[in-house]
Amino acid sequence: MIRFEPRTGISPARSMGLRLLAVAAALALAAIPLGVAGAPILPAYAAMLQGAAGSVFALTETLARATPLIFTGLSAAIAFRARLYNIGAEGQLYLGALAAVAVGSGAVAGPPALLVPLVLLAAAAAGAALMLGPTFLKGRFGVDEVVTTLLLNFVVLLFIQMMLEGPFKDPMGGGWPQSEPILPEAALPPLVERMRLHAGLPIGIVLCLLAHVLISRTVLGLRIRAVGENPAASAYAGIPVLRTLLTVGAVSGALAGLAGASEVAGLKGNLTADLSRGFGYAGIVVAMIAGLQPLAVVPAALLVAGVFVGADTMSRSHGVSSYIADLIVALALLCVLVAGLFVRFKVRWERA
């Protein structure tokens, strides 16, 4: 029989090591479907590594792909800390992107110093607003937020399609359902000329630092940790549980909204209904790999982005479907979840 003995403490390095081991395990497991698909496993993984980090261009691609994942990963990490399971980052991302386009494509004029913050603020507000409903329903009536946020993802995507075919449709778009482009003054500036890397990345990194300080050093952070671990005891101690949850929900939604702004204002230039390649869901995996630690979100996002970017290369060179990336990421989530057991407990096999 398995016995779990609580650990008194585990070093952050060891805990991170266990999570990395879990990702390695996910890669090893993904070799099975790769093999079944007829791909040579080691060369395929080599191509993946090459595509993710084999050149300066590859690295910048990975960094560009990591940018939205930092936002959505941080969004999930903070929410999950309070045991608020926000699975709606996908929807919040889209609504944030829509708000960014609404503000940044000509509705407001001004210099970049005004427009860029305005675009980001609008996106954050939209994402936050979307998350407040499910958070309130959970805190007040006990409605499972996982189900409501998931269902809202579908509603938002339909809403986006409706907007792109209606009021937001670009008259110059040749009939495609896409929004008008973001004004150059409202766009996040590129970090390197002619590369896809943009100012969203440093913004995301700074937000991770801020979130780290928030969670570990402030009263609000202590409230969040207390409410996540034991809402009953928190309420008994006089912590406003619902208000804390609403704050967390708003922050989490805002971060996911920023992911949308970062994509449209930094990378794509306009909004289409296929803006996100599951960044919202991948953010959950990023957060879990990071052990819900804001500082670890950046490397975790790089790792997941590397898998996605590398898988595209692998797909081209070995003819394997790029869905292998989604498969690896899903496996990584489950492996990291299991690894969490070893972080919290000494796991022993023994007689009962």
Residues 190-219 that bind other proteins (CB under 8 A): 217-219
Distance, CA of 35 to CA of 324 (rounded, Å): 12
User: At closest approach, how far in Å is the CB of 184 from other proteins?
Assistant: 31
Amino acid at 332: A
SS3 label, residue 344 = helix
Q: Which of 226, 248, 289, 297 binds other proteins (CB under 8 A)?
A: 226
Distance, CA of 109 to CA of 77 (rounded, Å): 35
Distance, CA of 170 to CA of 269 (rounded, Å): 12
25 touching other proteins, by CB under 8 A: no
158 touching other proteins, by CB under 8 A: yes
331 touching other proteins, by CB under 8 A: yes
Residues 105-124 that bind other proteins (CB under 8 A): none
161 touching other proteins, by CB under 8 A: yes
Cβ neighbors of 173 (< 8 A, separation 6 or more) are 180
28 touching other proteins, by CB under 8 A: no
261, 100 contact by CB (below 8 A)? yes
Residues 227-266 that bind other proteins (CB under 8 A): 229-230, 232-240
Find the part of the chain contacting other proteins (CB under 8 A) among 47-55, 102-110, 121-129, 158-166. 158-166
Burial class of 84 by CB neighbour count within 10 A (0 to 12, 13 to 18, 19+): buried
Find the part of the chain contacting other proteins (CB under 8 A) among 49-57, 136-144, 175-183, 259-267. 136-144
**Number of C-beta neighbours around residue 63 at 10 A:** 22
Distance, CA of 156 to CA of 130 (rounded, Å): 9
Find the part of the chain contacting other proteins (CB under 8 A) among 107-115, 157-165, 255-263, 297-305. 157-165
Find the part of the chain contacting other proteins (CB under 8 A) among 17-25, 156-164, 173-181, 198-206. 156-164
132 touching other proteins, by CB under 8 A: no
Distance, CA of 141 to CA of 121 (rounded, Å): 30
User: At closest approach, how far in Å is the CB of 223 from other proteins?
Assistant: 7
User: At closest approach, how far in Å is the CB of 84 from other proteins?
Assistant: 11
Buried b (16+ CB within 10 A) or exposed e, 302-334: bbbbbbbbbbbbbbebbebebebbbbbbebbbe
End-to-end CA distance of the chain: 6
Residues in the chain: 352
Find the part of the chain contacting other proteins (CB under 8 A) among 51-59, 185-193, 204-212, 226-234. 226-234
The token pair that represents 193 in the structure block: 């000329």
Amino acid at 101: V
46 touching other proteins, by CB under 8 A: no
Residues 51-70 that bind other proteins (CB under 8 A): none
Angle at 85 (CA atoms; ends 311, 343), nearest 5 degrees: 70
Residues 262-301 that bind other proteins (CB under 8 A): 281, 284-285, 288
200/306 with CB nearer other proteins = 306
Residues 68-97 that bind other proteins (CB under 8 A): 85, 87
Find the part of the chain contacting other proteins (CB under 8 A) among 59-67, 144-152, 180-188, 302-310. 144-152
128/164 with CB nearer other proteins = 164
Distance, CA of 57 to CA of 266 (rounded, Å): 17
Q: Which of 12, 117, 154, 189 binds other proteins (CB under 8 A)?
A: 154
1 touching other proteins, by CB under 8 A: yes
Cβ neighbors of 135 (< 8 A, separation 6 or more) are 84, 145, 245, 246, 248, 249, 250
User: At closest approach, how far in Å is the CB of 39 from other proteins?
Assistant: 10
265/332 with CB nearer other proteins = 332
